[in-house]
Amino acid sequence: MFFVVKKRAKHACPQISCKASVKSGNATSNFVGFVAMKLKRMIVGLGERSYPIWIGGGILSRLPEALQEANFPNKVAIVTNPVVQSLYGEAVAESLAAAGYEHHFIVLPDGEEHKTWATLQTIFDGLIARGFDRHCGLIAVGGGVTGDMGGFAAATFLRGIPYVQVPTTLLAQVDSSIGGKTAINHTQGKNLIGAFYQPRHVHIDVETLNSLDSREFAAGMAEVIKYGIIRDKDFFDWLLKHRKALQERQTEALISAVKKACQIKANIVEIDEKEDALRAILNLGHTFGHAIENLSGYSTFRHGEAVAVGMMVAAHISHHLELCSTDDVAAIRNLLQAFDLPVTPPQYPLDAYLDAMKRDKKVQKGTLRLVLNKGIGDCLVQEITDPAILFAEALKGIQHQDQVD
């Protein structure tokens, strides 16, 4: 259902190392402190499809300015959910109207369980009902579900219309809004139906994070921690040092963390836009995490919580394969727990986990490929020819650590 409100105006096998040169920022070294400015801009460099990311505190009102710089269409659909609309809908609408944009709301049900074909049809219905054509645009305002579905709708409606991401959750700000991955879920797996389709602009106001409950904020921190594990040990250490400032949601700390995470992801996307090789490292923890989400019906675990558990499983496999030390595994566990994230997998049978992971998008010719950390700050993608043995060892290692703790 929709309503629209119109207003104007794995063992030794082939590996892919994650180390690669990067061409902008200082995303892989010497992360030391807060950024000084309240607004930070960066570019995802993809040739003709390059686009800016704005990061700041209190910049939601500057969305029309960003749209104008991106030469965005005047007629726009604002795709959101009821919670986000109640928080930011009026402010977004007023700023767009004042700048002369014709805008229409399309409000979707909230939650990962609604990331379906039926809900996607809701967006199409709203666009068609209001006469949208290829000279119109879509603005996704909300978390990862809204952004993924809004982006997929934009990629497919009339074979593609421009869209903008306005992420309002931490997970969306540092991950799903950047890089052009759009998708819906299938009953057999997460994000199995989708497209690579880049936005025209990503608009990140960290002050929207103040509206998140503590669990949702922690879920987003899992993706932030991921970047430190795969790419930047200095950043990993910084996160622990500045845990209090981040959990208190101090603006400067949030801008610094979000900016660093976005820069790391942007650098990777610039090298490998469509996940042919390097970009796969961004899926650390996601293979096992997606299995958790699928087995729990997408309603028990937040995505970031499942990824946190998945990263813990990956760390234990890495240790089993002598890619990292016991101290590295302990440091990862400590940081995840410091941000109130789960580290113990739910008690599903091993066979159920293995079956769910068979449908992972990184499976190639029937062989599972896992992202594994090398120490902290580096990683690789490893083919797993004996997943049952490795995952059984990992789960046993986690269970032992839980008993010790």
Task: Look at the chain and report how many structural domains it folds into.
Answer: 2
Residues 221 and 309 in one domain: no
The CATH number of the domain holding residue 315 is 1.20.1090.10
Instruction: Please check the confidence at residue 8 and state whether its pLDDT lies above 80.
Output: no
Q: Which two tokens stand for residue 19?
A: 């180390």
Give the residue-averaged pLDDT of 288-296: 95
275 catalytically annotated: yes
Q: Do residue 324 and residue 251 come from a single domain?
A: no
Among 279, 316, 333, 361, which one carries the catalytic annotation? 279
- pLDDT for the residue 363: 81
Predicted pLDDT at 31: 57
Among residues 114, 303, 320, 333, which one is catalytic? Answer: 303
Residue 68 lies in a domain: yes
Contact 179/151 with Cβ under 8 angstroms?
no
Residues 77 and 40 grouped into a single domain: yes
Per-residue model confidence as pLDDT tens digits over 307-351: 999 999 999 999 999 999 999 999 999 999 999 999 999 999 999
User: Among residues 286, 302, 316, 361, which one is catalytic?
Assistant: 286
- What pLDDT score does 11 carry? 33
Predicted confidence (pLDDT) at residue 155 exceeds the cutoff of 50 = yes
Is 23 a residue of the active site?
A: no
Query: Is 380 in contact with 374 (CB distance < 8 Å)?
Result: yes
CB 52 within 8 A of CB 69: yes
213 plus 334 within the same structural domain: no
Distance CA 271, CA 291 (A): 28
pLDDT of residue 3 exceeding 70, the answer is no
65 labelled catalytic: no
Q: Which is catalytic among the residues 112, 270, 275, 293?
A: 275
Q: Is residue 266 part of a domain?
A: no
pTM above 0.85, yes or no: yes
Integer Cα distance of 313 and 321 in angstroms: 13
Among candidate residues 6, 23, 159, 365, the one labeled active-site is 159
Considering the domain boundaries, does residue 17 fall inside one? no
Domain assignment of residue 15, yes or no = no
Same domain membership, residue 285 and residue 247: no
Q: Mark whether 303 is an active-site residue.
A: yes
> Do 247 and 279 lie in a common domain?
no
State yes or no: is 181 an active-site residue.
yes
Q: What 3-state DSSP class applies to 199? A: coil
For the chain, the farthest-separated pair of C-alpha atoms sits apart, in whole angstroms, at 62
List, in sequence order, every residue forming a beta bridge with 102; answer none if it has no partner.
75
Of 198, 202, 209, 138, the residue nearest 171 (C-alpha): 209
Cβ–Cβ under 8 Å, residues 394 and 317: yes
Q: Pick the catalytic residue from 112, 223, 273, 305.
A: 223
Instruction: Determine the Cα–Cα distance for residues 367 and 386; give it in Å rounded to an integer.
Output: 9
E strand or H helix at 368:
strand 368-373
Q: Which of 40, 265, 316, 320 is catalytic?
A: 265
Residue 295 lies in a domain: yes
Residue 264 within any structural domain of the chain: no
Residues 83 and 150 in one domain: yes
The residue from 283, 293, 316, 383 that is catalytic is 283
pLDDT-based confidence at residue 175 (cuts at 50, 70, 90)? very high
What does the alpha-carbon distance between residue 122 and residue 110 come to, in Å, rounded to a whole number? 13
Please indicate, yes or no, whether residues 182 and 321 belong to a single structural domain of this protein: no
Q: Cα dihedral sign for 402, 11, 324, 233? A: negative
Euclidean distance between CA atoms 96 and 139, whole angstroms = 11
Alpha carbons 291 and 183: distance in angstroms, whole number: 17
DSSP-derived pairing of the beta strands 15-17 and 379-384: antiparallel
Closest CA to 82 of 48, 98, 65, 106: 106
Interatomic CA distance for residues 311 and 38, integer angstroms: 32
Asked if pLDDT for residue 102 goes beyond 80, the answer is yes
309 shares a domain with 164: no
Residue 196 belongs to domain with CATH number? 3.40.50.1970
pLDDT at 282: 96
pLDDT score for 30: 54
Contacts of 389 (CB under 8 A, 6+ apart): none
Q: Are residues 67 and 99 in the same domain?
A: yes
Active site (annotated) includes residue 90: no
3-state secondary structure of 156: helix
Residue 400 is a catalytic residue: no
Tens digits of residue pLDDT in 183-240: 999 988 888 999 999 999 999 999 999 999 999 999 999 999 999 999 999 999 999 9
Tell me the Cα Rg of the chain: 20
Is 50 exceeded by the pLDDT of residue 10?
A: no
Cβ–Cβ under 8 Å, residues 184 and 116: yes
Residue whose pair of structure tokens reads 């505190």 in the numeric block: 57
Residues 84 and 196 in one domain: yes
Both 215 and 281 in one domain: the answer is: no
Q: Is 279 a catalytic residue?
A: yes
23 vs 116, which has greater pLDDT?
A: 116
Residue 194 in domain: yes
Buried b (16+ CB within 10 A) or exposed e, 315-342: bbbbbbbebbeeebbebbbebbebbebb
* Residue-range definition of the domain harbouring residue 389: 274-404
57 located within any domain: yes
* More reliable by pLDDT, 363 or 104: 104
